Amino acid sequence: MASRRAAIKAIDWAAFAERVPPNQKAMFVALKSRSDALSARLAALPEKPPAIDWAHYKAAVAKAGMVDEFQKKFSALKVPEPVDTQSDKVNAQEQEAEKSSAEYIQASKARIAQYEQQLQKLRSMIPFEQMTFEDLHEAFPETKLDKEKYPFWPHKPIADL
Amino acid sequence: MLSRLLLRAAPAALRSLPPPVTVGLLQAARPLHTTQQRPAPLPPLPEKGGEVRHGLIPEEFFQFLYPKTGVTGPYMLGTGLVLYLLSKEIYVINHETVAAACILSVIIYAVKKYGPAVADFADKLNEEKVSKAVAAKNKVMESLETAIDQEKQEQWRIEGRSYLFDAKRNNIAMLLEINYRERLLMVYNEVKKRLDYQVAIQNLRRQKEQDHMIHWVEKNVIQSITPQQQKESIAKCILDLKALSKGAQAAV
C-alpha to C-alpha distance for A62 and B181, rounded to whole angstroms: 32
Q: Does A111 touch chain B (CB under 8 A)?
A: yes
Q: pTM score, two decimals?
A: 0.60
pLDDT, tens digit, for every residue of B11-25?
A: 555 555 444 444 555
Instruction: Inform me whether the pLDDT recorded for A105 exceeds 60.
Output: yes
Q: Which residue in the set A61, A74, A125 is minimally distant from B191, CB to CB? A: A74
C-alpha to C-alpha distance for B153 and A132, rounded to whole angstroms: 39
What is the DSSP code string of A60-102? H--SHHHHHHHHHHHHH--PPPPP--SHHHHHHHHHHHHHHHH
* Pick from B136, B36, B133, B117: nearest CA to A130: B133
CA atoms within 13 A of residue B153's CA, in its CB half-sphere: 11
- Chain B (182-241) residues lying within 8 Å, Cβ to Cβ, of chain A: 182-185, 187-189, 191-192, 194-195, 198-199, 202
C-alpha to C-alpha distance for B4 and A142, rounded to whole angstroms: 44
Band of pLDDT at residue A2, cut at 50, 70 and 90: very low
pLDDT averaged over every residue in chain B: 85
In this prediction, residue B22 carries a pLDDT of: 47
Instruction: Inform me whether the pLDDT recorded for A145 exceeds 70.
Output: yes
The whole-angstrom distance between A155's CA and the closest CA on chain B is: 20
Q: Which residue in the set A16, A41, A52 is minimally distant from B192, CB to CB? A: A52
* Pick from B176, B170, B179, B187: nearest CA to A3: B176
In this prediction, residue B230 carries a pLDDT of: 84
For B57, other C-beta atoms within 10 Å of its C-beta total 13
Whether B53 contacts B59, CB under 8 Å: yes
* Pick from A38, A68, A36, A65: nearest CA to A52: A68
List phi, psi (to 5°) of B52. Answer: -130, 150
Q: Which helix (H) or strand (E) holds B58?
A: strand B57-58
In this prediction, residue A109 carries a pLDDT of: 93
List phi, psi (to 5°) of B58. Answer: -65, 150
In this prediction, residue B86 carries a pLDDT of: 95
C-alpha to C-alpha distance for B182 and B189, rounded to whole angstroms: 10
Interface contact B155-A129, CB threshold 8 A: no
In this prediction, residue B247 carries a pLDDT of: 81
Q: Does A110 touch chain B (CB under 8 A)?
A: no
Distance set, CA B103 to CA B98, B109, B110 (Å): 9, 10, 11
- Which chain A residues are Cβ-neighbours of B193 within 8 angstroms? none
Q: Which residue in the set B144, B176, B181 is minimally distant from A119, CB to CB? A: B144
pLDDT, tens digit, for every residue of B172-216?
A: 888 888 988 898 888 888 888 888 888 888 889 999 999 999 999
Distance set, CA B89 to CA B83, B94, B97, B163, B241 (Å): 10, 11, 13, 104, 189
Whether B199 contacts A57, CB under 8 Å: yes
Helical segments of chain B, H only: 2-14, 19-29, 59-69, 73-87, 95-159, 161-224, 227-251
Pairs of residues, one from chain A and one from chain B, whose beta carbons lie less than 8 Å apart: 168
Contact residues for A4 (Cβ-Cβ < 8 A; gap 6+)? A81, B176, B177, B180
Kindly report the length of chain A.
161
* Pick from A91, A21, A153, A52: nearest CA to B172: A91
pLDDT, tens digit, for every residue of B24-80?
A: 555 556 667 677 666 666 677 788 888 898 888 999 999 999 999 999 999 999 999
Domain boundary assignment for chain A: 128-160
Instruction: State mean pLDDT over B90-98.
Output: 95
- Give the β-pairing of B52-53 and B57-58: antiparallel
Q: Does A14 touch chain B (CB under 8 A)?
A: no
In this prediction, residue A85 carries a pLDDT of: 84
C-alpha to C-alpha distance for B179 and A41, rounded to whole angstroms: 10
In this prediction, residue A6 carries a pLDDT of: 60
C-alpha to C-alpha distance for A139 and B134, rounded to whole angstroms: 13
- Which chain B residues are Cβ-neighbours of A6 within 8 angstroms? 169, 172-173, 176
Residue B84 amino acid letter = Y
- Which chain A residues are Cβ-neighbours of B206 within 8 angstroms? none
